[in-house]
Amino acid sequence: MSQIQTGLLVLLLTFLGVVGYNVYLSEITPEERSYTEFITFVENDEIKSIHLKGGDANVEDKKGLNFHTYIPDVSSILPLFKEKGIEITAEANNENFSGFMKSMLPILLILGGYLIFSRNRQGGKPDFGKGKGKSFSPQKKIDVSFNDVAGISEARLELTEIVDSLKNPEKFSTLGGYIPKGVLLQGPPGTGKTLLAKAIAGEALVPFYSIGGSDFVEMFVGVGASRVRELFTEAKQNAPCIIFIDEIDAIGGKRSGGNASGSNDEREQTLNALLVEMDGFDSDETVIIIAATNRPDMLDPALLRPGRFDRQVTIALPDVKGRRKILEVHAKKIVMARGTDLSDIARSIPGFSGADIANLVNEAALMAARHNKTAVDVSDFEDAKDKISLGLERKNVVINEKDRRVTAYHEAGHAITAKLLPETDPVHKISIIPRGQALGLTQQVPLDDRHTYSREYIINRIKILMGGRIAEEIVFGHQTTGASNDIVTATDIAGRFVCEFGMSAAIGPIAYSQEQDGFLGGTSSSKPYSEKTAERIDNEIKDLIDQCYNETHTLLTANNKFLHKLAEALLVNETVDGEEFEIVHQCFLNDKKIEWNLKKKIKEG
């Protein structure tokens, strides 16, 4: 009989026991009668005997029937009982204890059933501190190898030694070295930390224990520490092996240094147990601890010292080559159209993690199936990328012609500013089809991944964001709320330009840090400064935005015809890609009309 069947049988028997006990109580408990009715029976000389227990009275009438009643003042009614010749017996009132036991019996039955089930499940030894059986069962066959991990070649190379040490420990011990006891994988979410840990176990062909940091956390103090000890005891018995703790910051956070409330006692005891166990390996016990987190700044320093987590491997977002390799891995699982260039797709998704790319490939396959295609092509990837980044197309939304024209000129303003300014990313696509909360979009794709940004690039980025509102002002002579998100982004960039990058001539290279979030977590502390300095910073941010605004206004006014041509193309076709945008530009330079083919695609005029 399986553990589940045994548990269900125990619960069923416990339930039947409780029901049977309640039926038994109802059978032996006499009928309840009111005190008024009882007095009537006494006065009519119908009572034979009374058994008193405090104010409770079990009564037998002359017909042999029994019932129960409560007498509020026994001493006052005793003369009436004596007058009627009623037989009276009495006993001491110990109902408190017996009533308590009666009420506790169902609870004791349920608790006993649970303990029996727990004993059966854990081999005859119930223990509230035991871990979850599934969590501590090693995966002995891992179907993941380094071939399934792409885009993080540096991290992969760093961890190859772990695999070698598990396969050939003598290779290192003969030279006097020792293999790392722990490896901390840190990086943004979705970069492949868990997959990399599985690949190490798959390559080394050793048991793999996988558990989340939160699985150790319980409301009872000491349970988490008990589970840590149980996990390491079992791991040592199966050495060599790998223990993988995902999201270790759930138990490995910095200790409070004395918390009066005791709210962190459980987590800190769990961490202490983990620290002790990581120091407690014998030389012949090859147990590698691999942990993953995207908040390494939260971890306790004692956890990060050499001897515990000897190596800390940062897994960053993949570059364009890494994104292509990840695309190749996931593209093998779907039917790809011939001639699909994954390099262009990889270049168009900067900032995507491995998990994002896997989702992109899946969404592209769903898009192709939705359109009844036999293979996935580039257009499906484009639609999937837009859906992930901006949301679904809202083709059924009703937009009046005036709003369509405003949106067309707004997006044309962004695109033309990006086209005519130096040090900007090429325009990839312009659209006035509503997606998510946006009525249109102008998408730029960098030629290469950028790791640093020049002063000119940042200023021109502000100008591109201002281009939409300025185009509306030039053509329609008024402003709309469509530029609100652009203004928020431009103000944020200008603030970082002045306070963080130190690129303002008036303020100089001084960092007045603003709050910034990153994969390291937390926020940077703001440098304290005076009211006068704050006023200078505010004025510098405003001057920078005003300067960008005025220069962009001059640029778009000088290229008014280009603005009208691109807006016309958007109103006709709704979407203009990078190649078509270049054709519109050439038509503007050569003063030609825009022409269309049968599929409403722009061609040379």
> Which 8-state DSSP code applies to residue 90?
E
In a domain, 131, yes or no: no
pLDDT bin (cut points 50, 70, 90) of residue 518 is very low
Q: In this structure, are 258 and 201 located in the same domain?
A: yes
418 and 490 share a domain? yes
Q: Is 110 a member of any domain? A: no
Q: Residue 414's pLDDT is what? A: 95
Task: Tell me the pLDDT tens digit for each residue of 431-467.
Answer: 988 887 788 889 888 877 787 899 999 999 999 999 9
Span 359-363, mean pLDDT?
Answer: 93
547 and 425 assigned to the same domain = yes
Q: Determine the pLDDT at residue 562.
A: 92
Q: What is the pLDDT of residues 153-187, one digit of tens each?
A: 777 777 887 788 777 777 777 777 777 788 899 98
The conformation of residue 421, written as its DSSP 8-state character, comes to: S
Is residue 124 domain-resident?
no
DSSP structure string for 476-509: HSS--GGGHHHHHHHHHHHHHHHHTS---TTT-S
Would you state the pLDDT for residue 155?
79
| pLDDT greater than 80 at residue 526 | no
Work out the angle at residue 375's Cα, subtended by the Cα atoms of residues 372 and 377, and round it to the nearest 5 degrees.
105
Task: Check pLDDT > 60 for residue 401.
Answer: yes
111 located within any domain = no
Between the alpha carbon of residue 191 and those of residues 27, 250, 294, 448, 568, the distances in Å are: 67, 19, 10, 20, 42
305 and 324 in one domain?
A: no
Query: Does 511 map to a domain?
Result: yes
Choosing from 261, 289, 314, the residue where a domain stops is 314
Same-domain status, 345 and 300: no
- Residue 101 covered by a domain: no
Q: How many domains does the chain have?
A: 4
- Whether residue 134 is contained in a domain is answered as no
Residue 434 and residue 579 in one domain: yes
Task: Kindly report the three-state secondary structure assignment for every residue of 313-329.
Answer: EECCCCCHHHHHHHHHH
Q: For residue 310, is pLDDT > 90?
A: no
Query: What is the value of pTM for the model shown?
Result: 0.67
Q: Report the share of the chain in percent with pLDDT over 70.
A: 79
C-alpha distances (whole Å) from 27 to each of 20, 21, 52, 153, 552 are 11, 10, 20, 77, 93
For residue 552, give the CATH number of its domain.
1.20.58.760
User: Do residue 328 and residue 302 come from a single domain?
Assistant: no
pLDDT confidence of residue 520: 47
CA dihedral 355, 349, 432, 597 (to 10 degrees): -120
Band of the pLDDT at 210, cuts 50, 70, 90? Answer: confident
Same domain, 276 and 383: no
Res 430: pLDDT: 92
The CATH number given to whatever domain includes residue 230 is: 3.40.50.300
Closest CA to 309 of 249, 257, 256: 249
Q: Is the pLDDT of residue 522 over 90?
A: no
Are 450 and 579 within one domain? yes
What positions carry a catalytic annotation?
Answer: 411
Residues 330 and 198 in one domain: no
Its domain, for residue 87, covers 3-96
In tens, the pLDDT along 549-581 reads 999 999 999 999 999 999 999 998 888 988 889
Model confidence at 543: pLDDT above 90: yes
Q: Rounded mean pLDDT of the chain?
A: 80
Helix axes 95-121, 3-28, angle to 10 degrees: 160
Last residue of a domain, one of 96, 120, 135: 96
Q: What would the DSSP string read from start to end of 202-216?
A: HHHT--EEEEEGGGG
Contact 59, 38 (CB under 8 A): yes
**327 is a domain residue:** yes
pLDDT by residue (tens digit) across 264-297? Answer: 667 788 888 888 888 766 556 678 888 998 888 8
Q: Which helix (H) or strand (E) holds 512?
A: none
User: Do both 376 and 331 map to the same domain?
Assistant: yes
CATH number for 65: 3.30.720.210
Indicate whether 96 pLDDT > 60: no
Same domain, 382 and 406: no
Which of 64, 96, 128 lies at the terminal end of a domain, its last residue?
96
Eight-class DSSP state of 131: P
User: What per-residue confidence (pLDDT) applies to 209?
Assistant: 85
What pLDDT is recorded for position 174? Answer: 78
| Range with lowest mean pLDDT among 114-118, 365-369, 579-583 | 114-118
The confidence score (pLDDT) of residue 123 equals 46
Per residue in 41-63, pLDDT (tens digit) is 778 888 888 888 777 778 887 77
Residue listed under structure tokens 């049988």: 9
243 SS3 class = strand
